[in-house]
A and B are shown apart, each in its own frame.
Chain A
């Protein structure tokens, strides 16, 4: 390979196309010289000190790994490392967790409360005191309650601190709570597994990868998504020489670790799954005891897949029949330690619950539920709640508003709240730690909804796009500067983790609990926050598991005895939480609501000539768009690139590293241009980029204008009728060459 630039962190060398090593990364060297000089005296013999570590858990993503924060001998922030006994990280933080300090150090952070003075979206604000901000909000909310009722207020939430705003708004009188991680991410999976097995697979997913002998990944790019313990378990599976089968139109990192890479035509996953089910049944190699003892609807399933042969699936999926058979046999051979991973972000095509149903059914035929190397069982962990008076009963909830639409939605889809807002059903949004401009498809619709509001309150640490549309901005301090709600996990181990502040909050930023509690005081809702401060609240809760803040600050993670075995015991009679108490291969529940009781494949729209399906994914250095401005992580990956098959590049006369713009099927043009990475790692009917880039918020000095935002190009949205998920993979792009 060619000689790299010594300042590159990730060097990509592509022997196949003979291209010179492509360099990602590099950054300006001018900044932070002050730090360097101090370092110069101590490096390279920098000696650790015995300063005290601070217990926390990470907020860089939703995995929430328990960690220790350390300062150097001068008392300056130094590093964040994993907590050894924590089962989310086993003592090892991931790339983002290791770079967590960057979220604290970022000079672009929100610093003081602000109230909008210009037109909405114009981004003109004045700095105000917390008291002024609270008075402003309280007055508006009071008016909304009197004129329209409290149910007109909705909370969008993604983050640990959001729970305090739930308390606040429930006390105010609304139950309209939503999180984009449902209908824009894992909702279809959770509902499909509930329909089939009677329960969802949880988060962290209860997949026993470390003991699996055969792992099937369908678009799940473990390794590029750095869900910590799951990646570690995947690493163990590789060490154990498990058979890995990766289905992905892209040669993902996981695909490179696989015995089989199945580069299927995008959108045809369900056809492949039905063909696998066909092979398992036709060849009589499914787990017969599990099906006999615990499943209903096997005869209907057999009939249903009779004609879904590998030969039927071949022209649909482009996967050869012999490969479909061989991979099905691998699964069967290793069952029950054989796992078809249910993935996480699955809102793809608008029929996602049905696709995930097919995956749930396939898992059932492998008999892996409650088995080592399959799905392990959930445990129970009750941590006492701080008592408060009952919440007022709202006159109506989202379920009343929506009627029988999305009958299997267990929580309101954020996209539905947005639609209802456009129709005039809401007067105010609280948005806590989620940048709705990048977490919901088609930001134009989000803006249209915001225009209907009397009050938009945004609580965040960073001046992301959504803050630019706010009426009131409440700056939260980062996770390294605050106590927070406990992390309670009932996975393989039942554990509680504490987040305590390592540093004093910078500027005039405050923890979510403080913001919610003080706003409650202003709104006359103090009875819902009957504790004097967070320590009293936490101590009350911790006492119920025999612990205290004092203890937790020393240990970070407390393990509570798990009385439920994680695997089914031999001879144990399994009872499932479905209406039939069995695993429902055939779903009468779905049938009763007019949906397919067994999953039926329909071909998604295909790209027209000159257009390519836009697919996207994650990179280990970033969590969605929220870490792109992080000074440490931005160095690793400052912008995204567009993956393009060499054949496509040749047809267009596009060279490796050339910069182009993208235009989607509706004529929407990307704001920015993007560097093309010509690579054999992708099919010729799709292009790929990493989600979360192309920030429009000017105050994100590193992230602004870098790369392309995929959400802007997602304007063709199909909605899953079962539970309301929005499709993100139903958009096609063509290329705009720059003159």
Chain B
């Protein structure tokens, strides 16, 4: 079988997300994210007036865009796309902490580590290599998060995006984000 590039996507069902923050804690422990920083976070959006209200919870993170401005804006090549995937990563040895990528990211997904290099969500690439799901996906207690390869039409994420209405964040930025929200 021909080896195809993997188009990794995360699909998050806002209907069942309860905004519990378990994804944040699981990521922080899995990836040893220092105190005070996080690679993923939860947004709660409320609209309407009492008693006609609506509320949406979204677990947000790096969108691992197919057109990543963080990579093209990086002057040292520290920001790069992992071969045969759409996962964007930071080579901390090459990173000078200039923050060009931070400024270019429309999702505010990047932050500077206390040591001076840039960090962010990696889609738990180290776990994928072992056949595991990202830490956030594997712990989510309402099972509202899905992860997989969009190049495989039979993957759960492909099927969900065919079956359900979805949105991405800031599509106007033209970054082709790969984190999808079912609505």
Contact = CB atoms under 8 A, between A and B. Distances in A.
B88 to A, nearest CB: 11
A106 to B, nearest CB: 13
B16 A238 contact: yes
Contact of A635 (B35, B140, B142): B35
Interface string B71-101: 0000000000000000001101000000000
Interface stretch (A78-86, A158-166, A368-376, A456-464): A78-86
B34 A36 contact: yes
Contact of A78 (B29, B42, B51, B115): B29
A35 B48 contact: no
A574 to B, nearest CB: 33
B20 A632 contact: no
B16 A257 contact: yes
Contact of A683 (B50, B56, B111): B50
Nearest to A10: B42
A89 to B, nearest CB: 8
Interface stretch (B4-12, B125-133, B148-156, B171-179): B125-133
B125 A253 contact: no
A36 B114 contact: yes
A631 interface: yes
B143 A46 contact: no
B46 A46 contact: no
Contacts of B55: 251, 253, 256, 681
Contacts of A28: 35-36
A9 B59 CA distance: 10
A261 B30 CA distance: 37
A633 interface: yes
Nearest to B89: A44
B22 A45 contact: no
Interface string B50-79: 110111110000000000000000000000
Contacts of A256: 53-56
A33 B114 CA distance: 8
Contact of B32 (A10, A29, A39, A679): A39
A168 B176 CA distance: 65
Contacts of B139: 81-82, 92-93, 98
A234 interface: yes
A7 interface: yes
A11 B38 contact: no
A7 B29 contact: no
B113 interface: yes
Contacts of A631: 35
A582 B99 CA distance: 71
Contact of B45 (A1, A44, A679): A1
A10 B41 contact: yes
Interface string B142-171: 111000000000000000000000000000
Contacts of A681: 46, 50, 53, 55
A101 interface: yes
Contacts of B48: 16, 680
Nearest to B111: A6
B20 A223 contact: yes
A29 B36 contact: yes
A284 interface: no
Given A3-B108, A620-B20, A92 B141 contact: yes
Interface in A1-47: 1, 3-4, 6-16, 26-29, 31-33, 35-37, 39-40, 42-47
Contacts of B141: 92-95, 226, 228, 231-232, 235
29 contacts: A7-B111, A10-B24, A10-B42, A13-B43, A28-B35, A29-B114, A36-B113, A36-B114, A42-B32, A44-B92, A48-B127, A72-B32, A82-B139, A94-B22, A95-B24, A98-B22, A98-B25, A223-B18, A223-B20, A224-B18, A235-B16, A235-B144, A253-B55, A261-B51, A620-B22, A636-B21, A636-B24, A681-B55, A684-B50
Shortest 10 CB-CB contacts between residues of A and residues of B: A235-B142, A620-B20, A223-B18, A256-B55, A29-B36, A95-B22, A98-B25, A39-B32, A15-B47, A79-B29
Interface of A: 1, 3-4, 6-16, 26-29, 31-33, 35-37, 39-40, 42-48, 72, 78-82, 91-95, 98-99, 101, 223-224, 226, 228, 231-232, 234-236, 238-239, 251, 253, 255-257, 261, 263, 620-621, 631-633, 635-636, 645, 679-684
Interface of B: 13, 15-16, 18-22, 24-26, 28-32, 34-38, 41-51, 53-57, 89-90, 92, 108, 111, 113-115, 117, 119, 122, 125-127, 129-130, 132, 138-144
